[in-house]
Structure 1
Amino acid sequence: MSDTFTHINADGNAHMVDVTAKSETEREARAEAYVEMAPATLEMIVSGKHHKGDVFATARIAGIMAAKKTSELIPLCHPLMLTKVEVELEAQPQFNRVWITSRCKLSGKTGVEMEALTAASVAALTIYDMCKAVQKDMHITGIRLLEKSGGKSGHFKV
């Protein structure tokens, strides 16, 4: 683990890291999030009886769109040319939740961790938004990076 923050310069000011001299490498990151809810809410989603339509399809598209817009949402993130974004959603009725996983990939000079985390987060927020009329006390939990590869810091896996 590094003992310095890369987004803080010598004067203590926030800045965007200069990646000009970095080599392009294949980079990939995976993240996850959970949306915990009542069994009846989950059943409504899974059965397709939600009055707003296909919750999983909408959340998947929202997650993909969010990954592509990460640099517009997180102030010091570089705009990236993503080559792959996946968002998967799995109902886990035994835990009364939806498990969301995301995967982002590119060949570039900086990592895609923030894009993967943003995709999973926004997919979770979309599920909440679509279901809040039915249940307001849902919980979004467990947002975390699962794995990243490529770049100088190498491979990380939970």
Structure 2
Amino acid sequence: MEKLTHMNEQGRAKMVDVTEKQETVRTAHAKSCVVLSKEVYENIIQLKMKKGDVLAVAQVAGIMGAKKTADVIPMCHPLSLTGVDISFSWQECEDGQYALEIDTYVKTKGSTGVEMEALTAASICALTVYDMCKAVDKSIVIGPTYLIEKTGGKSGHFKRQEE
């Protein structure tokens, strides 16, 4: 049986030692989605939400989330990120609702990847949108959230196949 990398000799969780891993440039692109009503959409784009500019606050929250990933995901290594970028786009749904697509891009030069940082950034962005809009509509739906692409490291390049 193959030894599990995240378990110690007592079978308990441990943070993997990456000391000997080669430092490479590593990137990750993740995506999340927030589906909300036309009323909430209009309030966001017209900057009429009582808590302020929803997308500006969500963008900063996502960047902060990427930087704090190791604080909330127990086995993640603290990383020195060299770049975090977040972009938004809107899609009108067939049922009259609107989908906010969140794309996060994270980069570092290090010995472990940034997939979790990109996914955390996307998740925190989506949760911030919900938090800022819940007074108007609590039926907002978050998700799916997933990895689009990652580069660097021993496992190499991954790109999600379009469905």
5+ long unaligned stretches in structure 2: none
Runs of 4 or more above 6 Å deviation: none
Distance 2:34 2:69 in 1: 21
Q: Which has the larger displacement, 83-92 or 118-127? A: 83-92
User: Which amino acid letter does the alignment assign opposite residue 104 of structure 1?
Assistant: V
Q: Which residue of 1 aligns with 2:99?
A: 97
Distance 1:5 1:66 in 2: 28
5+ long unaligned stretches in structure 1: none
Q: Which residue of 1 aligns with 2:109?
A: 107
Distance 1:6 1:97 in 2: 39
Q: Provide the aligned C-alpha RMSD in A.
A: 1.4
Is the 8 Å Cα contact of residues 82 and 104 (structure 1) preserved in structure 2? yes
User: Which amino acid letter does the alignment assign opposite residue 137 of structure 1?
Assistant: S
Aligned residue among 152, 155, 161 for 1:153: 155
Q: Which residue of 1 aligns with 2:64?
A: 65
Q: Which residue of 1 aligns with 2:47?
A: 48
For these two proteins, the number of residue pairs brought into alignment is: 156
SS at match of 2:145: strand
TM-score normalised by the chain length of structure 2 = 0.91
Q: Which residue of 2 aligns with 1:19?
A: 18
Aligned residue among 116, 119, 123 for 1:117: 119
Offset from partner CA, 1:101-123 (integer Å, 9 cap, x none):
10100100000000000000000
Of all paired residues, the percent bearing the same amino acid is 53
